[in-house]
């Protein structure tokens, strides 16, 4: 093998390594189709340190943070409460503070994010249209903060 072939091979390998370290550790999939979510659709401004951390760990860094839950609550009131109720008790869409889930993945943080980002059936459209990824983590922290279901089912705490 010629030296430049070896060198370009090494450069390609380095490039692949660089790309894969920049990639997330968790894979996010659409709740209905199972396709990998295309995060390039995300609204600008949401690629915060906290969101990057979420992609690495699968844990929402805003959980348990009162300030973040408060911000999430006001976002929820603008974009979700009309369909899910002011206390997430359910209305046109299902309740989000109990432990019954149409999509059981909602009991994990990546699963809940998947439903928000990619949407589900009918009126539950993809929320990336209205909210940045970081906004969605805030809304999720709010929903976890008002959870009234069985604590044993709270997968996101495990």
- Judged by the rule CB under 6 A, the positions of this chain that interact with ligand HEC are 79-80, 82-84, 92-94, 96, 101-103, 106, 112, 115-116, 120-124, 127, 131, 139
DSSP label at 36?
B
Work out how close the CB of 82 gets to ligand HEC at its nearest, in angstroms, rounded to a whole number: 6
CB closer to ligand HEC out of 31 and 55? 31
CA 110/CA 133 separation, integer angstroms: 12
Q: How far is the CB of 86 from ligand HEC (least distance, A)?
A: 12
Q: At its nearest, how many Å lie between ligand HEC and the CB of residue 127? A: 4
CB of residue 57 to ligand HEC, shortest distance in Å? 20
Residue 97's CB is within 10 A of a number of other CB atoms, namely 18
Q: Which residues contact 127 (CB under 8 A, 6 or more apart)?
A: 79, 116, 117, 119, 136
Q: Which is nearer to ligand HEC, 1 or 77 (CB)?
A: 77
**Cα–Cα distances in Å, from 41 out to 57, 91, 93, 131?**
21, 28, 24, 11
Looking at beta carbons only, is 8 or 78 nearer to ligand HEC? Answer: 78
Closer CB to ligand HEC, 24 or 90, in the complex: 90
Which residue, 37 or 112, is less far from ligand HEC as judged by CB?
112
Distance CA 154, CA 147 (A): 9
CB 37 within 8 A of CB 30: yes
Specify the residue for token string 């990057």. 52
- For residue 4, the minimal CB distance to ligand HEC (Å) is 53
């Amino acid at each position: 093998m010629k030296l430049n072939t070896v060198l370009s091979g090494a450069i390609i390998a380095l490039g692949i390594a660089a790309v894969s370290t920049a990639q997330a550790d968790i894979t996010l999939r659409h709740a209905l189709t199972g396709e990998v979510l295309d995060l390039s659709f995300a609204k600008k401004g949401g690629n915060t340190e906290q969101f990057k951390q979420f992609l690495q760990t699968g844990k929402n860094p805003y959980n348990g943070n009162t300030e973040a839950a408060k911000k999430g609550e006001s976002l929820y009131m603008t974009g979700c409460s009309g369909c899910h109720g002011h206390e997430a008790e359910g209305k046109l869409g299902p309740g989000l503070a109990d432990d019954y889930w149409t999509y059981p993945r909602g009991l994990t943080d990546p699963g809940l994010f998947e439903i928000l980002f990619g949407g589900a059936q009918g009126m539950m459209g993809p929320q990336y249209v209205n909210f940045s990824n970081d906004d969605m983590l805030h809304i999720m922290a709010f929903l976890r903060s008002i959870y009234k279901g069985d604590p044993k089912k709270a997968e996101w705490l495990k």
